[in-house]
Structure 1
Amino acid sequence: MLFQVGGQGTRPTFFEMAAAQQLPSSLRAALTYSLGVLALRRPFLHRVLDYEDEFFALLMLVLETHSLRTTDASFSESLYGLRRRAITIRVKKDNTRLDSGDRIHHSGLEKHQKILSVVFLVVLPYFKSKLHSIYNKEREATLQASLWGHGHERYDDADYLEGGDNSFASTSGLDAEGSARTHLTKRIQNIIGACYPWLHAGNEGLSFAYQLLYLLDATGFYSLGLHVLGIHVCRATGQELMDTSSRISKIRSRERERLRGPPWLKVLQGALLSCTYTVLDYAQTGLIAAVFFFKMMEWWYQSAEERMSAPTVYPPPPPPPPPKVAKEGIPLPPDRTICPLCAQKRANPSVVAVSGFVFCYACIFKYISQYKCCPVTLMPATVDQIRRLFHDV
């Protein structure tokens, strides 16, 4: 395991394989999020989002086919400089103590291995995504039925037959056919809802087991699909990277030589091939840029939402100005510790809540009980608005 962390030799590390495996899901999330944002301005893009699985599978089919054809690696593996190699085991009877390098020989991928690789990389994930969506719909329907019960909106037989026997005869066949199709669809959904959790758990368990064994250097296969195909993923050498460029050039030259037809048609076909090659050459860079752009947009919108949802903190308002002393009221003494009523130092200081002025408790209680107002401001007050102060200034 420490050897893998170091990243030496031709064997990829666990982190390289995990990053290559997670790249398609990150790419799909980036494209879906980008289309969702654009669909806010262009509603017709919602049709693309309705067929998200099909469009993404078609995109990955083109990328994976091109990558396996030119580099002997999947789209994500080629970005990390990895290559797929078929393994053949050679057994020698005269020498039983052979190194692993002598017993296992790596070679390029054959045509059927490339086709099966596309099946494992594109077709199976597509069906898994469709099964997952069907299972989610079935689970939501079951949850809704458990909460609200099944729908009971049905036509009453008497009301339905009031239209006459002809209408019933003309629609009975269509209703029977539609009900049979609906029943079959419902039966398939129920089967998927019952079997998918076990299939998903088994798939995830096998994936975890293979990844753990690969991390502990107990197997050379990172996943069950690679084991079934008999393929090892290795790091590409510098010579292999140079050979890849020359192989791509040879393939494209042969494709240009196969063009047939009049000169204007050859020019048109050559222009289309050039555009296709340009798109494929910059597809990897563009899609990786889309992933980073998605992360940036996600961070931007998330921070903007946090700023909008965060409570606005305002500075504390200034204290209100002190109430004015009434002309007919008792004047305030120069010393703030003196009670305005008895002209003595305050005993048991108490404040009138409506005005904020402080008096002796006995003085202010007697005055408010008699006059029902503050003696300084003449604001209406009651004895319930007298507050005791435990610390006098």
Structure 2
Amino acid sequence: MLFQVGGQGTRPTFFEMSAAQQLPSSVRAALTYSLGVFALRRPFIHKILDYEDEFFALLMLVLETHSLRTTDASFSESLYGLRRRGAKIKLKKSNLLTNSADEVRHTGLRKRQKVLSVVFLVVLPYLKSKLQSTYNREREANLQASLWGDSDERFDGDFVTGDNNSFGSRDVSNIEASARDRCIKRVRKIVGACYPWLHAGNEGLSFAYQLLYLLDATGFYSLGLHALGIHVCRATGQELMDTSSRISKIRSRERERLRGSPWLKALQGGLLSCAYAVLDYAQTGLIAAVFFFKMMEWWYQSAEERMSAPTVYPPPPPPPPPKVAKEGIPLPPDRTLCPLCLQKRANPSVMAVSGFVFCYTCVFKYTNQYKRCPVTLMPASVDQIRRLFHDV
């Protein structure tokens, strides 16, 4: 399965390289989501999710090794019809002063470049993921310590009672455990202090290389490709045919190496055929998993949006009016009069605790003196007086 995005020449476009680089993360998200769904009915799958980094690294190790061995490309690059070529740069001495262009000659990948490619594609992302998880745990621990204090300080104390000899056999193990814990804490602190700078530097270099590649200022899309001296090029039709013939030769050679009795050879040949079928259809299966993941993500997201859509409810009924206290000031029959001065309200203001309206001067003096509402005798202060800009 190949996805040709377009473009002219053998140099891939920026969008092809970006899509090939982001494919492993999409595959990992799809596999994690699928395993999480299956784990709801099969709890033993949670053991795989507990070692998610190791499981995905092992899977990508198999796929990347097989892809580099057969197609001279990574797993994601082979999907887009791309191939890796060793770049040898030679300066043109004749035009060295007038023209600074370099002559780049592409060759096949050497064994060392394939091994280092696996390291850059599998080992380094695995280490980055583990450093990221360690940094997240250290940051959460620091946040918890800042809020609740250090757990060691909260649980310190002398809890040893009785005969001291009963604890003598545990002293050595406790010392070793405490030393190991101190070492782990020291490593986590170092990771917590250094990882943000390493991550920022890595992201900055990646952005710089991608920007230069987009502006056609360099032929290397990433620092890893530059360090290995590898260019990514489009595969021609002849190269695709050569790749298929190379794969058939490799597999026929591996079948010829089988040793043992006829039934053992048949069993080994069947296992090899099954392994070849899994590797051949792994690309299609993983792309189908990514498609399924995106479709389910869209489905559940749209369902959540429908469920979380705002529903228009009728306004609630107003609360019952507060009761007038027996010893409080009675309300006048005319609502436009102030209960305190029994005059037309001037600068009307409402008492927030009760909702009754008075003149501002009257209610301010009364509240400042008695610290309560004049009508309901509820406790109040002058800060709870609110100005009304429209008298009703």
Q: Which TM class, normalised by the smaller chain length?
A: 0.7 to 0.9
- Counterpart residue identity of residue 10, structure 1: T
Spell out, residue by residue over 1:245-284, the C-alpha distance to the aligned partner (whole angstroms, 9 max, x if none): 0000000000000001111111110000000000000000
User: Which whole-Å CA distance do the structure 2 matches of 1:6 and 1:51 have between them?
Assistant: 39
- Counterpart residue identity of residue 81, structure 2: G
**1:217 matched residue in structure 2:** 216
Map residues 169-318 of structure 1 onto 2, 5 A cutoff: 169-312=168-311
1:307 is displaced (CA, Å) by: 2.5
- Counterpart residue identity of residue 231, structure 1: I
- Counterpart residue identity of residue 140, structure 2: E
User: Which whole-Å CA distance do the structure 2 matches of 1:130 and 1:248 have between them?
Assistant: 35
**1:326 matched residue in structure 2:** none
Task: Identify the range of structure 1 (22-31 vs 148-157) with the bigger mean alpha-carbon deviation.
Answer: 148-157
User: Which whole-Å CA distance do the structure 1 matches of 2:171 and 2:143 have between them?
Assistant: 32
1:98 is displaced (CA, Å) by: 8.6
User: Which whole-Å CA distance do the structure 2 matches of 1:155 and 1:137 have between them?
Assistant: 23
Aligned-CA RMSD value: 2.0
1:89 is displaced (CA, Å) by: 2.7
Identity across matched positions, percent: 79
SS at match of 2:217: coil
Spell out, residue by residue over 1:163-195, the C-alpha distance to the aligned partner (whole angstroms, 9 max, x if none): 312222111111111000000000000000000
- Counterpart residue identity of residue 124, structure 1: L
SS at match of 2:83: strand
Q: 1:95 to 1:305 in 2, by over 3 A?
A: closer
- Counterpart residue identity of residue 51, structure 2: Y
**1:386 matched residue in structure 2:** none
- Counterpart residue identity of residue 70, structure 1: T
SS at match of 2:281: helix
Task: Identify the range of structure 1 (198-207 vs 143-152) with the bigger mean alpha-carbon deviation.
Answer: 143-152
1:45 aligns with 2:45: yes
Spell out, residue by residue over 1:312-352, the C-alpha distance to the aligned partner (whole angstroms, 9 max, x if none): 568x9xxxxxxxxxxxxxxxxxxxxxxxxxxxxxxxxxxxx
User: Which whole-Å CA distance do the structure 1 matches of 2:167 and 2:246 have between them?
Assistant: 69
Question: For structure 1, which runs of at least 5 residues remain unmatched after alignment?
Answer: 317-393
1:53 is displaced (CA, Å) by: 0.2
Q: 1:99 to 1:169 in 2, by over 3 A?
A: closer
Spell out, residue by residue over 1:138-173, the C-alpha distance to the aligned partner (whole angstroms, 9 max, x if none): 00111111111112443632x41x231222211111
1:156 aligns with 2:153: no
**2:24 matched residue in structure 1:** 24
Task: Identify the range of structure 1 (6-15 vs 282-291) with the bigger mean alpha-carbon deviation.
Answer: 6-15
**1:61 matched residue in structure 2:** 61
1:144 aligns with 2:135: no
- Counterpart residue identity of residue 239, structure 2: E
**1:351 matched residue in structure 2:** none
1:29 is displaced (CA, Å) by: 0.8
SS at match of 1:11: coil
SS at match of 1:105: strand
1:306 is displaced (CA, Å) by: 2.4
SS at match of 1:118: helix
User: Which whole-Å CA distance do the structure 2 matches of 1:25 and 1:197 have between them?
Assistant: 21
Q: 1:156 to 1:80 in 2, by over 3 A?
A: same
User: Which whole-Å CA distance do the structure 1 matches of 2:111 and 2:248 have between them?
Assistant: 19
Q: 1:18 to 1:164 in 2, by over 3 A?
A: same
**1:86 matched residue in structure 2:** 86
User: Which whole-Å CA distance do the structure 1 matches of 2:93 and 2:154 have between them?
Assistant: 77
Q: 1:218 to 1:93 in 2, by over 3 A?
A: closer
SS at match of 1:217: coil
User: Which whole-Å CA distance do the structure 1 matches of 2:196 and 2:273 have between them?
Assistant: 46
Q: Contact (CA 8 Å) 2:85, 2:108: kept in 1 or not?
A: yes
User: Which whole-Å CA distance do the structure 1 matches of 2:112 and 2:187 have between them?
Assistant: 32
1:83 is displaced (CA, Å) by: 0.3
1:112 aligns with 2:86: no
**2:320 matched residue in structure 1:** none
Q: Which runs of at least 4 in structure 1 moved beyond 4 Å after TM superposition?
A: 91-101, 311-314
Q: 1:294 to 1:249 in 2, by over 3 A?
A: same
SS at match of 2:289: helix
SS at match of 2:105: strand
Task: Identify the range of structure 1 (181-190 vs 29-38) with the bigger mean alpha-carbon deviation.
Answer: 29-38
The number of residue pairs the alignment matches comes to 308
- Counterpart residue identity of residue 75, structure 1: F
Instruction: Name the TM-score, length of structure 2 as normaliser.
Output: 0.75
User: Which whole-Å CA distance do the structure 1 matches of 2:230 and 2:129 have between them?
Assistant: 25
- Counterpart residue identity of residue 157, structure 2: D
SS at match of 1:284: helix
User: Which whole-Å CA distance do the structure 2 matches of 1:19 and 1:110 have between them?
Assistant: 26
User: Which whole-Å CA distance do the structure 1 matches of 2:303 and 2:92 have between them?
Assistant: 67
User: Which whole-Å CA distance do the structure 1 matches of 2:258 and 2:162 have between them?
Assistant: 66
User: Which whole-Å CA distance do the structure 1 matches of 2:100 and 2:141 have between them?
Assistant: 58
Spell out, residue by residue over 1:276-310, the C-alpha distance to the aligned partner (whole angstroms, 9 max, x if none): 00000000000001000000111111222223333
